[in-house]
Amino acid sequence: MRNGVLGRFRVSVNRLVGAWVWLLLVGFALVMALPAGAFAESHKGDFYKEFMLIGGYSDVEQWIGGDMMMQKNSVGFEYYRKFSDEYGDYMTLDLQMRFGYDTRFSSNDAFGFEIHNAWLDFNTGIGSAFRVGHFQPVFGLETEVDTHATLLQTLAMQNIGFKHDWGIGYRGLLGEYDYQVGAQVGSGMSILAEDDNYLLTGRISASPERDEEIGLSVLYGQTLQPMQNWSIPKPMLKSNESILKKRVGLDYQCPLWLFDFKTEGAIGQNDGETVGGALAQIEYTLPEDQDTKLKLQLKYWSNDLDKKNAADITLQPVFERKFSEALTFRASYYHDLYSPGQEDRAVVLQLYYFGK
């Protein structure tokens, strides 16, 4: 355990954050409990239903129910609403939850609720807003790419260990640049306080040309490593000790001939060990069929750059077909090209619905 004045301050901050987060959840519950008339079109509120069916076969795990791609069989919803007055929008609310089944655990531990987005944005000026609640740490490509239901994931899990966290954030303009900062508890889906955990992130980005964006990110904090993605019940931890993480990352997106191209890289430390990695991803939309996409991602990560055998290299092509605006089918082949542990190959199929 880390002691001292700084440690006691972090524990106090975590307790304070936990208190107002639960108050925030009560506020969300009250909003959702309003009668149907309260969701009139004039309030710009949208309610979406969501379900996911996913499964496949892995050389190592045999029959699987997702998990490898950070997805699982689940049902859920999203409620998104803007609040306006005669001067324009002044607040935005987003609440996104799932009830899921994790095949990696026994029946008693396999079911749980996931709170993904649960935040309020308060507009503070043109291009600026203050955010409070459960949202993505502002680091890397995950800040700009929606991976909520996709089979291809960014480096967020390798860098942070989770994709959402409780806390406060701010975004604004700095000349021609956009910037975002976040201060969060460092525990992920649920609010946990162990070994002075916290997380600080920041990202600054520029769009020198249309459809092109480059971002520079930094990360510092002591984060916990949950074994499950549940918000309720509280997830089990790999360890009661937090990991001191430091990162610098660079991400880039642009059109590349007939393709959409995305890449990111990051380097830093986990408790003094030098870690880092990168990914490159291309997407191709069939010209004669805009509802069909082909994607390919190559990912490299090492938990110890000083050791050659600590690296993990994966290749993952994905076929994606939209049957309608709300219903999407995906098929993926996952290949562990090199791994310090047991190499794996897997085929995964997914049917995903997200609509009103």
Task: Give the tens place of pLDDT for each residue, 189-217.
Answer: 999 999 999 999 999 999 766 678 999 99
26 pLDDT more than 80: no
Which residues are CB-contacts of 290 (< 8 A; sequence separation ≥ 6)? none
Instruction: Note the pLDDT of residue 43.
Output: 57
* Per-residue confidence band for 40, with pLDDT thresholds at 50, 70 and 90: very low
Least confident of 103-107, 143-147, 172-176: 103-107
Task: Give the tens place of pLDDT for each residue, 298-348.
Answer: 999 999 998 878 889 999 999 999 999 999 999 999 999 988 877 889 999
42 pLDDT more than 80: no
Which residues are CB-contacts of 334 (< 8 A; sequence separation ≥ 6)? 58, 68, 69, 314, 316, 344, 345, 346, 347, 348
Tell me the DSSP string of 77-138. Answer: EEEEEEEEETTEEEEEEEEEEEEEE-TTS-TTTSEEEEEEEEEEEEEEETTEEEEEEEE--S
| Helix/strand/coil for 277 | strand
Instruction: Note the pLDDT of residue 67.
Output: 65
User: Which residues are registered as beta bridge partners of 242?
Assistant: none
Task: Give the tens place of pLDDT for each residue, 230-289.
Answer: 999 999 899 999 999 999 999 999 999 999 999 999 999 999 999 999 999 999 999 999
Q: Structure tokens of 188?
A: 């992920």
Instruction: Note the pLDDT of residue 207.
Output: 72
Q: Domain-by-domain residue ranges, the chain?
A: 5-355
Residues 123 and 91 sit within 8 Å (Cβ to Cβ)? yes
- pLDDT averaged over every residue in the chain: 87
Q: Which residue has the higher pLDDT, 141 or 38?
A: 141
221-226 mean pLDDT: 96
Instruction: Note the pLDDT of residue 68.
Output: 66
CA dist 278 and 16 (Å) reads 36
Residues 257 and 288 sit within 8 Å (Cβ to Cβ)? no
CA dist 307 and 243 (Å) reads 20
Task: Give the tens place of pLDDT for each residue, 76-123.
Answer: 999 999 998 888 889 999 999 999 998 877 777 889 999 999 999 999
Instruction: Note the pLDDT of residue 19.
Output: 47
Q: Which residue has the higher pLDDT, 40 or 317?
A: 317
Phi and psi angles of residue 40, each rounded to the nearest 5 degrees, phi first? -60, 155
Instruction: Note the pLDDT of residue 16.
Output: 47
Architecture category of domain 5-355 in CATH? Beta Barrel (2.40)
CA dist 182 and 139 (Å) reads 9
Instruction: Note the pLDDT of residue 1.
Output: 44
| Helix/strand/coil for 262 | strand
Least confident of 2-6, 150-154, 256-260: 2-6
CA dist 134 and 70 (Å) reads 18
CA dist 67 and 71 (Å) reads 5
Residues 318 and 284 sit within 8 Å (Cβ to Cβ)? no
pTM of the model: 0.86
